[in-house]
Structure 1
């Protein structure tokens, strides 16, 4: 059986998991690939004596992997933007295939990387970059190839989902974030997780493969969860909703919505029931209807599962000498169209609005008139006399689906009312049925 030589760059959490799974399941993987996946060289900033690399050549210079002429496939697991970009482009220039788990790299530099790979006729595979161990990219690019995909929506950051799950018990955001850091779910700098950047990277990649458009991370609307309070989470539940931090991409006749933000989801929806650090993605296709992909979105061996799945695909091509391969984004390059990414003003959604207003006759009528003037219908209203404080009481409204620019105008007018205190709290609501 032929050997396909692999060079691993990075022996952190995912790199270590990849090495261990490749060793433990070597015979099984070879049987599926039709060749031996041999780790012929490893490079990492720090040695990992705990992994037992044995005679496998090790270096602290990642470019030693690129310079090794025996390497067929470079596995990029160093993370980050610029250094990873330089490494991947260098590997492509040497005619080596690339497997990466780096969603930031693909979301930001993917168009450049895929063009370079196309010119050199090499594969760049990135399944592990989106939703860890869940093979959602393979499903979108291959399993759903017959479908016009209407929309996709997902919990694609486990840290945020863990925080929101714990906040349902009335715990404050800062308290739960500290716990997530102590448990290793959140980084020391959690900005990418809690402010939605990580989810926007993944959403950008999924949307490009779903709709056949170039990667456009800079056009993704991103809103985090750091301003959410247990109060709004509990009141959303009283209305029959759970608050989830979702990435949503929707194809419309006038463009594509590409957005990450806190979202009210009816508690009966499947995605509303996904708690903890678990990820879940719903995809709606015109032929198949809704499908859901659920599982671990991070972790050493879970992510390694997707890395090695890509390695098997690449190894089959290398071993057979075949030119048959899946296009980088699931569409042949000439079929990729530069469809407009809509601005936030053009989003269509229902809305949860919390307004701190004076408790006196006529205030609700004024607010309702403003909403009506903007063409916004009210679905439900909640007001609790027990929450009266200093003459003000929270008024909670749930609207029907409208354009965001209508809601923006209404909120500006409501906040200008003398009877209204503080800013209006707004959370978008979606019903994935």
Structure 2
């Protein structure tokens, strides 16, 4: 049997220790599938003396994380520190420059610097893998890169953030409002003390940018992802969606419009959407992730499972290590990095679809006429209109509408006509209705 694949692990949080536990618990399974042993030889973390529940005495402790990249007894560096820049990025560059394999769960770093790292990996003929960076234990990176390789994909979309999905599905189940469910998510460990990246959609945008690059064979363009979170979604919106036959989910959508990756335009967005009850994403509840890929020959494919956690994420890390041990890492983004296309950004105004629009307005005569006039003047056709009663203070009402299918630019124009109106007590909330 071949010599063992020797690892250095930077970061010994839940995922880092999870990798060590998995390699111990499934040693024989991993060795058979990898064709050789996979062994940890060196580790690094901020606190050396902390009890992590695993025996670290058999590994070399490296005080300077960057020294891992130059150790002669290391074949692959596993980075589980996090952060788009700083020490993690320095380690990535150093490891690949030294010809070491590099495996990471760091979605922010891959979204911001993935092209640079893939180019360096190609120059040095070093494996670069990041299955664990997107959707935890779900093999969606491998699924898109290999399973759909023969397909021209038209759309990749899904629920990419477990924190938001937990909050929204619990709002749906309990009738509670956003703030209450955010606190519950923090108490259960599903949300960070500072949940901004999750609830504002940034975390999902990182993942979407990576999936779009893999699925469409394009260079990552995180800055092109248009992103809005769930902080405006209220219990009233959840209840109204239910009455209309929908659930509310934060959905990342990447679609190639008017051609393929060489000629088309790539539209990438993260937004709360209304999802029909019969759509597979409607059944995804709690801190679960799900990704849908639509191929011209494969049809609709659904990848679903745990989107985070020590065991699922460690599983994805070790899956990458097995590929490297076999010599089967492949191109990180489906095709060689120098062949990735630079996609033109899509115009969201051209999106054809239906929308749910909710207004919070002053309770006085003429307000509804003002809103409907703006819709008429902008060319928005209203399918249904719902007005709810006064709030507790008696001064505001909520008006919600569902539009007929039309271009998004018309909805945008209507809201611009209403901008600054004293009738509006808050910014309107627009949620696209996901097609079947």
Contact preservation (8 Å) 1:158, 1:298: yes
1:276 aligns to what?
286
Structure 2 residue 70 is the aligned partner of structure 1 residue 67: yes
Contact preservation (8 Å) 1:357, 1:393: yes
**Secondary structure of 2:184's aligned partner:** helix
RMSD: 2.2
**Structure 1 runs not aligned, ≥5 long:** 318-323
1:371 aligns to what?
375
Query: Closer, same or farther in 2 for the Cα pair 1:431/1:115, shift >3 Å?
Result: same
Query: Closer, same or farther in 2 for the Cα pair 1:385/1:172, shift >3 Å?
Result: closer
Q: Provide the TM-score with structure 1 as the length reference.
A: 0.92
1:219 aligns to what?
224
**2:81 aligned to 78, 82, 98, which one?**
78
Query: Closer, same or farther in 2 for the Cα pair 1:387/1:91, shift >3 Å?
Result: closer
**Secondary structure of 2:59's aligned partner:** coil
Query: Closer, same or farther in 2 for the Cα pair 1:13/1:195, shift >3 Å?
Result: same
Equivalents in 1 of 2:395, 2:69: separation in Å? 69
**Structure 2 runs not aligned, ≥5 long:** 259-263
Equivalents in 1 of 2:238, 2:28: separation in Å? 49
Residue deviations 1:171-215, cap 9 Å, x none?
122222122112111111111111111111100000011111111
Q: C-alpha displacement at 1:417, in angstroms?
A: 6.0
Greater displacement, 199-208 / 402-411:
402-411
Residue deviations 1:48-90, cap 9 Å, x none?
5421123221233212322211111111111112211100100
1:28 aligns to what?
29
Equivalents in 1 of 2:322, 2:73: separation in Å? 18
Q: C-alpha displacement at 1:36, in angstroms?
A: 0.5
Contact preservation (8 Å) 1:415, 1:422: no
Structure 2 residue 414 is the aligned partner of structure 1 residue 429: no
Contact preservation (8 Å) 1:46, 1:60: no
Residue deviations 1:96-133, cap 9 Å, x none?
01111100010001111111111101110000000000
Contact preservation (8 Å) 1:42, 1:56: yes
**Secondary structure of 2:118's aligned partner:** helix
2:161 aligns to what?
157
Query: Closer, same or farther in 2 for the Cα pair 1:117/1:288, shift >3 Å?
Result: same
Residue deviations 1:238-295, cap 9 Å, x none?
1111110111111101511111111111122110111110111111111111111111
Q: Provide the TM-score with structure 2 as the length reference.
A: 0.92
Equivalents in 1 of 2:103, 2:392: separation in Å? 58
Q: C-alpha displacement at 1:361, in angstroms?
A: 8.0
Structure 2 residue 262 is the aligned partner of structure 1 residue 261: no
Residue deviations 1:118-154, cap 9 Å, x none?
1101110000000000000101000001111111111
